[in-house]
Structures are given as structure tokens and as C-alpha cells.
Structure 1
Amino acid sequence: MNDLTISVAAAEFGRDMESCYRTIGALIETARARGSRLLVLPEACLGGYLPSLGGGDESDEARRRRLRSLPPALALDGPELRHIAAMAGDLVVTLGFCESDGEVRYNAAVTLTGDGILGSYRKVHQPLGENLCYAAGSEYRAFDTPVGRMGMQICYDKAFPEAARALALDGAQIITSLSAWPTARTGAADRLEDDRWTQRFDIFDRARAVENQVVWVASNQAGTFGSLRFVCSAKIVGPGGEVLATTGTAPGLATATVDVDHALQLARDGGMYNLRDRRPELYESVVRRYGVVGQPDLPQTLAAGHA
């Protein structure tokens, strides 16, 4: 057995960086006390998310006000992430923030330890209005960590099966999905449990896990920020689509222990190994617009034992 204990947070983060550091520090200590080796924090947990998504019929003044209240733009090699790395020590931590690249901003995520950054990601899929504040990323790439091969995505990415599939095909055993996922823009329910965007969030998490037969770890913001109310619902999902731990629609830290290699083997040896049994030569219409047709080779970590 090679058990891995994972913790994932639904927590509230705003613009005050010192408050963000305190919240992250407390979550790190709780995760460490539970024996966790991987902690997944929400999207935009260093400086908070956007106060609104804007777009549509947004007035010029509302747009100017929103653009004046963006989160701090941080460099990958800046002191803020070095501070988190120092707190992490030997714990693998995934977190979201606003990345600066010269004058360009990205909605970004990193996975790091006390030794530094193991992988970084810039959000590819942007919901209505987010493109007014951030540039879009352009790739999905898995990376090796002390807890296994991982991939990252952010929020709206989970609505696109291709995003998780690209990471699974690159050998990701664990996919972390960091969110600032709010309630529905119109007709939001009084109870978070009844909100249709809460239900959508949960469906996507389970579907992405089972269709790629990976361990799926979904964090989310909690509370409110600007006009947004977040649905919490942080969870760990096994490769069979089973929810191993969840915060439900409340802030908290969900923790589960899973033997990742064994869980993946059980899911994939049961007669349905989804990555092996694809027929990409028949999917041309899905990718014709981009001129990308063909089946990439399965990574060795996935192909082994599945002739």
C-alpha cells in the first residue's frame, strides 16, 4: 500500500495579503496535523478574485471601477510565493493567484513545496468578462511531484472535457481543479445546496474524475466577494467517480486517504480503461477547426499493463 493523504479547502480570501497568509498558514497546519502530503487551496487565494465578472451591459463606470479593484499581480519568482513555499516545507501545496508577466495578467496556479515551484499553469478557458482582466493561457501540461504526476486547471476549465483529458493523456494521476465558483448569475437559490451552479460544479467534478479515471481534487472559494457568492463544495473524488471527502456547501477542509496507484489500477482494470479505448480517429469533427487530428501515444505510466 502507498497511501496518500490529501486535503482540500473551501475558504474565504480577499484583497488583504496578510489575512491571506494567515488563512493559508492555518490550513497548512491543519492539513499537516492530519498527516496530509498534498494540500489544494482555491483559485485566487493570494489577494482574492474579481469583485464581479462584468461583460454584457456593464456600464463604462462599472468597468472602470472593476478594473481599479483587481487583485495584486504577483511574479512566479516573487516574495509572495517564496513566503508560501517557506510555510509549505515538505507539504505539496497547490494554490491560485494573479500572475504578472510584464504588463500582462493571468489567472494562474502553482504547485510548490519548500524547495520551490514544481509546476505552474495559466487558466485557458475564461467565463464571461474574465477576458477583460486576464489574458488566456495556452497549454495543459502534467508534471512530476513527490506525491505523483499531477495536472492543474482553474474553475471554468472543468466544464471542458478536453482540458482534463489533455492532462490525463500527459500522465496525470491527480488533477487539481481550483475554483472561485459562484452561485448562478440569475435565479440563484437561497440555499447553496439548491443552487443550480452548485449542482453543476458537483456534476463536473465527478464526471471529470470518472471519465479520465484519475483522482480529482476540487477546491473553491467560500463566502462572498463583491457581487459574487461562492458555493464551497470542495471535494476529493476517486477514479470511479466516488466522492471520498467533501466540505459540502460550507467552508472547511476535506481530507481523504487514498492509495493512488491502487485506485487507478482498480478503475482501469475493470474492463473499461477509457484512455486506452478511445477512438480519436472518429473524433475529427471535434478538432477539425484547429487541424489537430490523430491519437497521441499513451504515456508509459498509463500504457504499462494495458496492452
Structure 2
Amino acid sequence: MAPTRRVAAIQWHIKELAIEENHSTACEYIRNAASQGAELAVLPEYHLSGWVPTDPRWAEQAGQSAKYLSSYQSLAKELNICVVPGTIIEKHEGPNGSTLFYNTAYFISNDGSILGRYRKKNIWHPERPHLTSSGLESHAAIDTPIGRVGMLICWDLAFPEAFRELIADGAEIVIIPTFWTPNDASPEALKQNPNSEALFLSSTLTARCYENTCGIIFVNAAGPSADFLGMSQVTLPLVGPVAKMGNEEGLLVADMDLGLLDIAEKNYKVREDIRKEGWHYVYRHTSSE
């Protein structure tokens, strides 16, 4: 029998540049998740400092990222819980003295070890002046205590290719930390449908589960409805969201019945087709070299 995994999605109104306060809030929620038996806790994208890249303090705080990652490792070990601490902005020296910023998600095991790392590949248009893409690095799945997992970040959701590469590598669950707002739609788009971004998320998340016979843990930031969508959820094929939040702050604990993945795969045979020798699609990055 396929296992049921208890997981936690954590969304709150992230305070800009309040790195210590946001970290403290995150740790409190993780402790709460562990007390409810969650095996995994997932935080939103940009959870430490928010998205304010034009403020010099944002870059300064990015240089402190290693300290907070280490703190989450210690907490995971203490509480015996896996943690994906949303995304952490990492500051690196680039060529010719330049500075590069990567938007990075980590999977921390319940023993405190780092099992995998993913740098955001598909950079949202307003982010591109500030962040560096992972480019031709592969989307790779990792073995974890809750199963084989892939990680994507926010706008990666829009690209089926990202999912397919993870599924081809055996991912069963895809984790997506996000900072997705209603105002990511243009004024022209909002005029056609003020709820267009919520529709984007609700339809795409369910579709990705069906077309990849996978489960998704999607975790967004929360706050006033004019500026935040929330909608953190745990979604599975055949049934759609098994637990879902609005735009309120809080902790969502849900049980993922991974047996649904087996039923969906037996029905749709997506993974079976992908594994066929000579399959007519390729789900790997290729280098120009």
C-alpha cells in the first residue's frame, strides 16, 4: 500500500526586510507543524526579506543567507521534521567583480542534512534585472524521507517542460515555494478578469497533477487580498486540491495519499510512456557545446 504523508504549508504576510522577525515567525510555524505530526513543512518564496531588490538592505541581507539555512537545519533535526525553507536569496561573486543573486530552494531532511538544492530557472520578468537563472542546470529529483521529490519555484509552474524533466527523473511530489500576487497580471489582463491570476493557479496546479501523475505542494505568501493571493494547497491527481487556503495567514496540515498517484498512473500511463525506449519527446536540458 502506498504511504500517506502528512505535510504542512505555511503562509503569512512576509514583512519587507524584517529578516529576524520573518525567521522567527517561520520557526514558530515549523514547530507548530511538527507538533501536529507533519513530516514536512514548506515556507513561501522570499520568506526572509520579501521582494524589495532595489533597497540596498535586501542585498545586504542576502549575504547572511547561510546563517539562516544553518538555523533551519538545526531546527529540522531538533523537531525530526523535513523542511523546505521557501527560497533563500544567495549572494555570490560573479565574473569581473560582478555580484550574482540566486533564488534558491533547499530540501532539509529530518536529520538536518541538506538532500538537494534548486536555483530558480524561469525568472519572472520584473525579477530579471536582479536575479540569475540556473540556465542549463538540469531539473533533478531527489530521494527524501517522504518520497522522491522535485522542487520548482513560482514562475517555473508555467512551464510544463520543468515538470516533465522532474517526472522523467522519478519525482512523485513537486514542491513549489511561491510569491505570486494578483498584480502579476497586467492592467489589460485584469480588465478582462480581475481574478485571472487566481484562475491561472487553480487550473494549472490541478492540470500539472493530472498530466504528470504527481502530487504538488504549493506554498504562497499571504496578506490583504488587493496584494496577495495565498492559495497555498496540497493537490493530487484525480481529486484536485485535498487542502487549500485562502489569503489568510496560517498553517495548513494535510495528508497526501500517494496511492492516488499509483491509481492515476495506471489509468493514464504517463510515466510508462516517458520510460519507453525511443520515446518521441526528450525531457532533458541539452548544452550548445
User: Could you state the TM-score of these two structures normalised by the residue count of structure 2?
Assistant: 0.83
Name the structure 2 match of 1:132: 129
The AA in structure 2 aligned to 1:258 is: M
Seen in structure 2, the aligned counterparts of structure 1 residues 273 and 21 have a Cα distance that, compared at 3 Å, is same
User: 2-side partners of 1:130 and 1:251: how far apart?
Assistant: 25
Q: Deviations over 1:64-117 (max 9, x none)?
A: xx25353522477x2211111112222111121101222311111111134221
Q: Give 1:166 deviation, angstroms.
A: 0.8
Q: Is the 8 A contact 1:74 1:97 kept in 2?
A: no
Q: Does 1:148 align with 2:147?
A: yes
Q: In structure 1, the residue corresponding to 2:180 is in which secondary structure? A: coil
How far 1:247 sits from its partner (Å)?
0.8
The residue aligned with 1:115 is 112
Q: How far off is 1:239 after superposition?
A: 2.8
Three-state SS of the structure 2 residue aligned to 1:221 is coil
Residue 73 of structure 1 corresponds to which residue in structure 2?
A: 62
Question: Secondary structure, in 3 states, of the residue corresponding to 1:269?
Answer: helix
Q: Give 2:257's aligned residue.
A: 259
Who is 1:101 aligned against?
92
RMSD of aligned alpha carbons: 2.8
The question of whether the paired residues in 2 share the 8 Å contact of 1:181 and 1:220 is answered with yes
Letter paired with 1:195: N
Aligned counterparts of 1:236 and 1:202: Cα–Cα separation in 2: 11
Structure 1 contact 219–234 (Cα < 8 Å) conserved? yes
Pairwise CA distance, 1:41: 0.8
Contact 2:222-2:229 within 8 A present in 1 as well = yes
Deviations 1:213-269 (A, max 9, x none): 111000001126xxx922100000013351110112322222211232x22211111
Q: What is the alpha-carbon distance in structure 1 between the residues aligned to residue 63 and residue 35 of structure 2?
A: 29
| d(CA) in 1 for partners of 2:212, 2:239 | 10
Is the Cα contact below 8 Å between 1:176 and 1:218 reproduced in 2? yes
SS of residue paired to 2:51:
coil
Partner of 2:11: 10
Instruction: Report SS of the residue matched to 1:158.
Output: helix
Is the Cα–Cα contact under 8 Å of residues 148 and 171 in structure 2 kept in the other structure?
A: yes
Across the two proteins, how many residue pairs are aligned to each other? 268
Contact 1:67/1:133, CA 8 A, preserved across alignment: no
Contact 1:209 1:241 in 2 (8 A): no
**What is the identity percentage for the equivalent residue pairs of Structure 1 and Structure 2?**
27
Q: Give SS of 1:30's match.
A: helix
Aligned pair partner of 1:85 in 59, 67, 73: 73
Structure 2 counterpart SS, 1:229: coil
Structure 1 pair 142–291 and aligned structure 2 pair: CA distance change class (3 A): closer
Counterpart for residue 231 of structure 2: 233
Structure 1 residues 146-295: aligned runs within 5 Å: 146-184=145-183, 185-187=185-187, 195-223=195-223, 229-240=227-238, 242-260=240-258, 262-270=259-267, 272-277=268-273, 282-283=280-281
**CA shift for structure 1 position 202:** 1.6
Secondary structure at 1:151 match in 2: strand
How far has the Cα of 1:3 moved from its partner?
2.1
Q: Normalization by structure 1: what TM-score?
A: 0.79
Alignment partners' CA distance in 2, 1:150 and 1:159: 19
Aligned partners of 2:190 and 2:35: how far apart in 1? 36
Q: Which moved more, 1:231-240 or 1:246-255?
A: 246-255
Kept after mapping to 1: 8 A contact 2:73/2:108 = yes
Residue equivalent to 2:96: none
8 Å contact kept, 1:239–1:263: yes
Q: Secondary structure at the residue paired with 1:49?
A: coil
Q: Contact 1:11–1:251 (CA<8 Å) still a contact in 2?
A: yes
Alignment of 1:6-45 (within 5 A): 6-14=7-15, 15-45=17-47
Structure 2 gaps, min length 5: 94-98
